[in-house]
Amino acid sequence: MVGYTPEYLFLLQTILRSDPQGAVNFALMISQMEGGCPVDYNTITDLFLQVLEINLVTFPNVADAVLANRMFSHYNRPHIAQLCEKADPGNAPLVIGQLLDDECPEDFIKGLILSVRSLLPVEPLVEKCEKRNRLLLLTQFLEHLVSEGSQDVHVHDALESSRVMDYINRLDNFDGPAVGEVAVEAKLYGEAFAIFKKFNLNVQAVKVLLDSIRSTDQAVEFAFHVKEDAVWSVIWASEDANVYNDLVRYLLMVRQKSKEPKVDSELIYSYAKIDRLGDIEEFILMPNVANLQNIGDQLFDEALYEAAKIIYGFISNWAKMTCTLVMLKQFHSAVDAARKANSSNTWKEVCFACVDAEEFRLAQICGCNIIVQVDDLEEVSDYYQNRGRFNELISLVESGLGLERAHMGIFTGLGVLYARYCPQKLMEHIKLFSTRLNIPKLIRACDEQQHWKELTYLYIQYDEFDNAATTIMNHSPEAWDHMQFKDIAVKVANVELYYKAVHFYLQEHPDLINDILHVLSLRVDHTRVVSIMRKAGHLRLVKPYMLAVQGNNVAAVNEAMNEIYVEEDYDRLRKSLDLHDNFDQIGLAQKVEKHELLEMRRVAAYIYKRAGRWKQSIALSTKDNQYKDAMETCSQSGEHEFSEELLAYFIEQGKKECFASCLFVCYDLIRPEVVLELAWMNNMVDFAFPYLLQFIREYTSKVDEFVKDKFVSLSEVKAKETEEKDMVAQQALFPALGNNMYAQLLPLALPAPPMPGMGGSGMGGGFAPHPPMAGMAMLPMPPSGMPPMGTY
């Protein structure tokens, strides 16, 4: 359409290379074009004849089929005939090579070579013989060519090579390894093989056969001959698949002659290398002497797993069968095989492989058979965790709780997993299985993951109450529970924790501090507790606690309570002073003696009186017009000076009634002459008269008692004198009797009758008081010799 003229000859050449039939069709098309054929017919014919020539040289059988089918009718017949003549002897090297492989007699081969020597191509023939280490067969042929004047390099090289072989066979004293390497570099492969073989360098020799000569059959034959594993290893390492096809044919031929374990084993291995699995199954079912275990292991090591599976299944090696199935990723079958093997290592291998393949249901089946072994549980756990499969691991271990062989490690391990990945289940797990846990291990896990409430519970279960209390106080927002802490507090061994608990409650739960102190009251030092509260400025906060322990009469507690009562209630203060005397009395008295309340100042006077500071007490009482208090203090002091000074004070102040009352309150201490003097001088005899009457009555009673005592004493003396006189008279009446006989005749002495006014025994009895003197009325006496006080 655009006026373009294609290069028909170029197109025909191109099509001819890839599609001969298409080229024929294209040639017919252009030969029938309007205006005549654009390409000369002779040129087209030459192109197709070139194809025939190529086939004659390269693929004679193709050319033979072309000629036999009479595909060409017009061609240069003499030229084609010459080509055909060259192509039939060109195949002689192949024929000779096959004859050598079939172990044809050398004489026959030599005769064949000589019969067609003029037409034989030298280079391929030398290559075939050199490959098979048979260059000596060509010696006569090569010498004939040289004698005819041949200058072919291949002829001369081959003839030198044949002489080298002669030297190798005849000489012994040379460096075999070095010469062998030189021979390989010179491409004298047959000679190199002969050298290595002569010096027992069998690995190097078989490498020459495989890599240079490329004869698998010779390599296998050589391996059977030397019987070295290293030689076989070289053969197996060959990457040429044809090696094993040739090897199979060779081994089958050898097996027909003899039955050897090595042959049968190598045959199975060769089948596996070329994936002839059906042949393996058929072979092992027949009688054989192969070492199936070893060959199975070899196949497994070289990743020929399908073949190895056949072998292991046949010999019932379930452990290796399991491993093989794992490598084939046939996990269901692997689990079944592992169940038959029933080995911990086998279960682990399948389990781990299933985890990697995310076959978690199968992994759990395997895992349940592993975790019942204490030593394997940790390994399984680490494997899951390292791969981030936390939920699947928890599910596995949870399923292990119900196993018959469940042990402490499973319960503890699940607790650790809960602590790390599922803390909401941790406390319930601990409470349910506290007796089946390795508590120290779970304690470490809870501490690492900062589960303080659970950690506290574990410490309690493990009787580590000190750590439990410390944990609660250090992490109270999560761990503190008042009732629980009270139970723990009474069981701690470290007393310092008691005071730490006091500080803790003071700071965080002051409303409950009295409750915790009540629990600790038998264990804490009350002085130290009061000191803590005093420093914190919260003495009133622990008033209930101090009231409860004040019965112990601890100075610090008493003083703290007194401080509170000073500010609150003087009645309670006074009662406290009467019940609890262990405190700084003078300090308290000094503190309240200037108090604005009268009753507080009276308390100060009372304290001074208790402390024996009579003068201060009396002065404080008189200052506040508390005359009764002053009188009682004087009476209790036992000192007449204080009483007499108080009388003088009353006279000075004109307190006549107080003067009269003081005479009776301080009756035992006041000297009568002082009373008479003060009353006479201050015109207060009327107020002193009752005291004087009482004094006179008491004085006369004492005189009467004295007279009575004197009379009794004189009567006793007189009676004693009369008794002595009677004894002297009796001795005069019985002079002949000895003292001893006289003593025996005397009657037993009887106790004397009691004297008037004496008690029933001894002289210690009191006298009966004389009746009051006539005309003198006896004034009633108050208890303790102190007359009753009237109001004043």
> What tens digit of pLDDT does each residue of 86-102 get?
558 666 676 776 777 66
Signed CA dihedral, 695, 697, 698, 702: sign only: positive
What pLDDT, on a 0 to 100 scale, did the predictor assign at position 90? Answer: 60
Greatest mean pLDDT range, 28-32, 106-110, 511-515, 642-646: 511-515
What pLDDT, on a 0 to 100 scale, did the predictor assign at position 327? Answer: 94
- The boundaries of the domain holding residue 129 are 30-170
What pLDDT, on a 0 to 100 scale, did the predictor assign at position 580? Answer: 80
Residue 453 CA to residue 479 CA, distance in Å, equals 4
Using one digit for the tens of pLDDT, what is the confidence trace for 433-489? 999 999 999 999 999 999 999 999 999 999 999 999 999 999 999 999 999 999 999
Residue 546 CA to residue 521 CA, distance in Å, equals 10
483 part of a folded domain = no
Q: Which of 170, 200, 220 is the last residue of a domain?
A: 170
Instruction: Please calculate the CA angle 505-509-515 and round it to the nearest 5 degrees.
Output: 70
What type of residue sits at position 15? Answer: I
CA nearest neighbour of 311 among 301, 321, 319? 321
What pLDDT, on a 0 to 100 scale, did the predictor assign at position 782? Answer: 39
CA distances to 59, 176, 712, 727, 755 from 722, rounded to whole Å, are 187, 164, 16, 9, 16
Residue 170 CA to residue 44 CA, distance in Å, equals 62
- Please report which residue ranges of 387-425 form alpha helices under DSSP H: 390-400, 408-421
Read off the pLDDT band of 77 (50, 70, 90): low
What type of residue sits at position 8? Answer: Y
644 part of a folded domain = yes
Phi-psi region of 290 (alpha: psi -120 to 50; beta: other; left: phi over 0): beta
Tell whether the model's pLDDT for residue 64 goes beyond 70: no
CA distances to 142, 146, 148, 157, 188 from 151, rounded to whole Å, are 11, 7, 9, 11, 20
CA nearest neighbour of 152 among 196, 120, 186? 120
**533, 542 Cβ separation under 8 angstroms:** yes
Read off the pLDDT band of 85 (50, 70, 90): low
Tell whether the model's pLDDT for residue 773 goes beyond 60: no
Q: How many helices (H) and strands (E) does the chain have?
A: 48, 0
What pLDDT, on a 0 to 100 scale, did the predictor assign at position 308? Answer: 95
Q: Which of 170, 204, 232 is the last residue of a domain?
A: 170
Signed CA dihedral, 749, 754, 760, 764: sign only: negative
Mean pLDDT of all residues in 758-776: 36
The encoded tokens of residue 295 equal 């060959």
The encoded tokens of residue 361 equal 């249901």
What's 208's DSSP letter? I
Using one digit for the tens of pLDDT, what is the confidence trace for 285-298? 999 999 999 999 99
- Diameter of the chain by CA atoms? 217
What pLDDT, on a 0 to 100 scale, did the predictor assign at position 355? Answer: 96
Tell whether the model's pLDDT for residue 778 goes beyond 50: no
Q: Which of 138, 155, 170 is the last residue of a domain?
A: 170
Place of tokens 């004047």: 149
619 part of a folded domain = yes
512 vs 152, residue with greater confidence: 512
The encoded tokens of residue 672 equal 């009568």
753 part of a folded domain = no
- Residue 424's CB: how many other CB atoms inside 10 A? 7
- Residue 216's CB: how many other CB atoms inside 10 A? 21
What pLDDT, on a 0 to 100 scale, did the predictor assign at position 735? Answer: 55
Read off the pLDDT band of 61 (50, 70, 90): low
What Rg value do the Cα atoms of the chain yield, rounded? 69
Using one digit for the tens of pLDDT, what is the confidence trace for 539-594? 889 999 998 988 888 888 888 888 888 877 778 888 878 788 887 788 877 888 88
665 part of a folded domain = yes
What pLDDT, on a 0 to 100 scale, did the predictor assign at position 734? Answer: 56
**315, 292 Cβ separation under 8 angstroms:** yes
What pLDDT, on a 0 to 100 scale, did the predictor assign at position 35? Answer: 77
Tell whether the model's pLDDT for residue 399 goes beyond 90: yes
Tell whether the model's pLDDT for residue 768 goes beyond 80: no
What pLDDT, on a 0 to 100 scale, did the predictor assign at position 359? Answer: 94
189 burial class (0-12, 13-18, 19+ CB within 10 angstroms)? buried
Signed CA dihedral, 59, 65, 68, 73: sign only: negative
Read off the pLDDT band of 784 (50, 70, 90): very low
CB-side exposure of 678: number of CA atoms within 13 Å? 26
CA nearest neighbour of 254 among 295, 221, 209? 221
What's 83's DSSP letter? H
Residue 124 CA to residue 117 CA, distance in Å, equals 13
**130, 210 Cβ separation under 8 angstroms:** no
Place of tokens 């509170």: 564
Mean pLDDT of all residues in 609-615: 84
Residues 6+ apart with CB under 8 A from 254: 224, 263
What pLDDT, on a 0 to 100 scale, did the predictor assign at position 326? Answer: 94
The encoded tokens of residue 569 equal 């209630």
Tabulate helix, strand, coil % of the chain (nearest 5).
75, 0, 25
CB-side exposure of 603: number of CA atoms within 13 Å? 27
The domain tally of the chain equals 2
Tell whether the model's pLDDT for residue 739 goes beyond 70: no
State the CATH number of the domain containing residue 671.
1.25.40
Tell whether the model's pLDDT for residue 762 goes beyond 60: no
Read off the pLDDT band of 56 (50, 70, 90): low
99 part of a folded domain = yes
What pLDDT, on a 0 to 100 scale, did the predictor assign at position 240? Answer: 59
Using one digit for the tens of pLDDT, what is the confidence trace for 173-216? 888 899 889 888 888 888 889 899 999 999 999 888 888 887 77
532 backbone dihedrals φ, ψ, rounded to 5°: -60, -45
641 part of a folded domain = yes
What pLDDT, on a 0 to 100 scale, did the predictor assign at position 230? Answer: 87
What pLDDT, on a 0 to 100 scale, did the predictor assign at position 767? Answer: 32
Residues 6+ apart with CB under 8 A from 748: none
747 vs 730, residue with greater confidence: 730
Calculate what percentage of the chain has a pLDDT beyond 70.
82
Tell whether the model's pLDDT for residue 58 goes beyond 60: no
What's 345's DSSP letter? H
Calculate what percentage of the chain has a pLDDT beyond 90.
34
Residues 6+ apart with CB under 8 A from 326: 334, 349, 350, 353
551 burial class (0-12, 13-18, 19+ CB within 10 angstroms)? exposed
What pLDDT, on a 0 to 100 scale, did the predictor assign at position 79? Answer: 62
Residue 335 CA to residue 339 CA, distance in Å, equals 6
377 part of a folded domain = no
Mean pLDDT of all residues in 610-619: 84
> In whole numbers, what is the pLDDT of the chain averaged over residues?
81
- Please report which residue ranges of 509-626 form alpha helices under DSSP H: 513-520, 526-536, 543-549, 555-568, 570-579, 585-592, 598-610, 614-623
